[in-house]
Structure 1
Amino acid sequence: MTPAASTTSHQEGVNITINSLIEAQTAFIKHWLQQQAEPLATEAWQWLGAQSLNKYLNADDLTRLINDGILTQPMSDIMRSDVRDIMRTLIYHPANDNVPLSDLVDETQIVTLATYIGNYEQQRNILISTFIGNETFADLLTQTLYHAINDFMETTLDRAGGVGKLMKMGRSSFEKATNRNLDEKLQTYLHRNIKDLAQRAEANAQAHLSNEEVTRLLVTGWARIKDQPVSRLQEYLRETPEHSSIDHLEASLQQSYNRLRLSPYLHSLVAAVVDTWYSNHQFDSIAELAASLNLGPSASMALSTTMIPMLNDALESDWFTTHIKEMLSAFYAQPDIKEGLGLQEL
């Protein structure tokens, strides 16, 4: 055998030996990891839980993650569709027919909230003034009284026979003599005087709606509806092919979100909130942070157990096998490893 042939034969033997080692070690690594998957997952969680937050993250990292990773991108159409479907499922679920509103809100919560609202006299007076003491309320009251008076007059004149006809003639004569429509004259009169009436109504409301009265009204109002089923809320929604209240609600929320998510105002709030939270928890371990979310060791163990099948599938995948072989090939390709194992080329 020539030296060249001998060298080639020896090289083939070296390659076969290395390839055999790689195959055997790849199989061993995969089998060993599969056998140790559960304790490794548990130990990994334990190790992660012992690490301090500030070892890997700072406040700027979290702020950048929220601003650049979350707020920069609009909510995807798929996610928006999921939100609508979930809202629709929750609102129209059959269980709502058998669950009263009182099961969702405790009676003591209503009393506490009503008392809290009732004790804010200044804010209550401002609210009353906003609703009653403004031009919109005055205009609404003017139109309401005008229609009531006009309807009464028309009904009375129609039933009054000859007297009604005489009154209609008088109305016509008045309009010709003054060159003004009686309806317009009536509305002008009501609007001019209704402001004083609105001010009186505001004063009466503030005088009679005491703290105790407001509390009583709120508690009484809750008592009237607390036994109604949750599904009663569906009456305030429409769900037809032409009009969906849920679609409209989701679209409105999305519009507000898109308007705010890139605003300097929201970004400044995010930075302030992150700084506050981070200053409170920067020295906490990951386990302590998880515990604050009620994710204790039992929850971590349950999560680890759930992930075992996925981990096993990953170990059996082609990409994992390929990477193990590439890693081992690079290892054995090192000259000192070849020399140390007596696999050097001739």
Structure 2
Amino acid sequence: MTDSMPTHPLIEQLIEQHIIFLEQQFLDTTYLQQEVCILCQWLGTQSVQNLVSLDQLQSTLRHLFIDTDLPQNTLKHLGIRLSEALKHPLNQTTTIADIVHPLHVDDLAQYTASKSTQRQYLIAHITKHPAFVNIATQLIQQVLHDYFQNHLNNNSSHVSRFMKIGKSVLENVTDLNLSHAIQQYLEKNVSKLAMLAEKTLNQQLSNDNVYELHVQMWHQLKNTPLSHLQHYIDADDLPQTIPLLHQFLDHFRHSPFFAQHLQQGLTAWYLDHENKSVLDVLHALGTTPEQVSQLLEQHLGQILQQFIHDGSFKIRLRQQLHDFYYTPSTLDLLKKI
């Protein structure tokens, strides 16, 4: 309809009555419940492939997870909210045991303890790494150095006199002082040190010992207030660290690796569910049509009420009804009444 088109009083009254009728329907809780119920029942009879194709699903999720960038302002506010959560006064009186069930900790302990093959593989790679060997070498050297120094400086000890003699003999024979001799020995036996470390760690981290370690840590930590997290996480830095961490995630989600896995995962899911009904998919997600209906009734009803009460519904509907009633075909029908 154009602004220059003449209006008809009767048609204008029809439009007003039509608007009133629809507003009353959408504000009627019983009517809305019935419509939502009918919609959910219909969805339950439809298969996944009838509602969405694989291409549509892949395009939508690619847009959500790859093509759409999260605004920096959103990341900043996320950091602020997390910072406030860490500083919340409730953390002072809430302990780890208040939010973590001990049975779940026991399940985790048993699961971790049973992974001996993975644990041995990890220990082997750690102990053979040059950084580990270097740290272990320096630690052993420092401990031995401190031990000898403490005894050599103890003039009242008989052991001290014998150690001084031994130190003097060693340095005369090797032309090295004690610290250099120890360092040279450790450097020559790096592979032996790594093998010894691997063997010792595997012995100390047996299945039973790993389980007991979990239990001991739980008893030590369960009464710790959540406010102690601030010792490990600087709450004031979160508005800066959250965007920094997002950089890594952002690079990952734009990588061909993620895109390929997303596509393959969606394809596998779709092929497995395309002939299943929406009802089956809801059950797989742990929900029911009744629960979906309740959510839609509650939230859709509130939205529609607000949309109607502020006049937006009437403005939008009036234009659509004008376009309908003033079309030539509708005018011809009205003339026949």
Q: Is the 8 Å Cα contact of residues 100 and 226 (structure 1) preserved in structure 2?
A: yes
- The corresponding residue for 1:205 is 201
Q: Distance in 2 between matches of 1:65 and 1:197?
A: 55
The Cα of 1:69 is off from its aligned counterpart by: 3.6
| 1:1-80 → structure 2 map (5 Å cutoff) | 15=6, 18=8, 20-37=9-26, 38-49=29-40, 50-51=42-43, 52=46, 53-80=48-75
SS in 1 for 2:223: coil
The count of corresponding residues between Structure 1 and Structure 2 is: 316
Cα distance change of structure 1 residues 223 and 201 upon mapping to structure 2, 3 Å threshold: same
Q: Is the 8 Å Cα contact of residues 30 and 316 (structure 1) preserved in structure 2?
A: no
Cα distance change of structure 1 residues 273 and 48 upon mapping to structure 2, 3 Å threshold: farther
Q: Distance in 1 between matches of 2:323 and 2:121?
A: 77
- The corresponding residue for 1:103 is 98
Q: Distance in 2 between matches of 1:125 and 1:263?
A: 32
Q: Is the 8 Å Cα contact of residues 48 and 286 (structure 1) preserved in structure 2?
A: no
Q: Is the 8 Å Cα contact of residues 124 and 198 (structure 2) preserved in structure 1?
A: yes
1:275 aligns to 2:267 (yes or no): yes
Larger Rg over CA atoms: 1
Cα distance change of structure 1 residues 132 and 279 upon mapping to structure 2, 3 Å threshold: same
Q: Distance in 2 between matches of 1:226 and 1:304?
A: 42
1:264 aligns to 2:253 (yes or no): no
Cα distance change of structure 1 residues 213 and 318 upon mapping to structure 2, 3 Å threshold: closer
Q: Distance in 1 between matches of 2:185 and 2:332?
A: 111
Q: Deviations over 1:244-302 (max 9, x none)?
A: 1x345523431221111122211122122222333343344445544534354255335
The Cα of 1:64 is off from its aligned counterpart by: 1.0
The Cα of 1:142 is off from its aligned counterpart by: 2.1
Q: Is the 8 Å Cα contact of residues 87 and 227 (structure 2) preserved in structure 1?
A: yes
5+ residue gaps, structure 1: 1-13
Cα distance change of structure 1 residues 338 and 206 upon mapping to structure 2, 3 Å threshold: closer
1:117 aligns to 2:112 (yes or no): yes
AA at the equivalent of 2:262: V
Cα distance change of structure 1 residues 239 and 105 upon mapping to structure 2, 3 Å threshold: closer
Q: Distance in 1 between matches of 2:333 and 2:209?
A: 93
- The corresponding residue for 1:300 is 293
Q: Distance in 1 between matches of 2:127 and 2:329?
A: 91
Match of residue 92, structure 1, among 87, 99, 105: 87
Q: Distance in 1 between matches of 2:10 and 2:326?
A: 12
Q: Distance in 1 between matches of 2:281 and 2:58?
A: 18
Cα distance change of structure 1 residues 103 and 317 upon mapping to structure 2, 3 Å threshold: closer
5+ residue gaps, structure 2: none
| 1:104-253 → structure 2 map (5 Å cutoff) | 104-151=99-146, 186-193=182-189, 195-240=191-236, 244=237, 246-247=238-239, 249-253=241-245
SS in 2 for 1:99: coil
Q: Deviations over 1:118-144 (max 9, x none)?
A: 233332222222333432222112222
Q: Is the 8 Å Cα contact of residues 331 and 337 (structure 1) preserved in structure 2?
A: yes
AA at the equivalent of 2:252: L
Q: Is the 8 Å Cα contact of residues 72 and 261 (structure 1) preserved in structure 2?
A: no
Q: Is the 8 Å Cα contact of residues 80 and 239 (structure 2) preserved in structure 1?
A: no
RMSD over aligned CA atoms reads 3.8
TM-score, normalisation: structure 2? 0.75
SS in 2 for 1:36: helix
Q: Is the 8 Å Cα contact of residues 128 and 202 (structure 1) preserved in structure 2?
A: yes
Cα distance change of structure 1 residues 191 and 32 upon mapping to structure 2, 3 Å threshold: same
Cα distance change of structure 1 residues 307 and 145 upon mapping to structure 2, 3 Å threshold: same
Cα distance change of structure 1 residues 110 and 336 upon mapping to structure 2, 3 Å threshold: closer
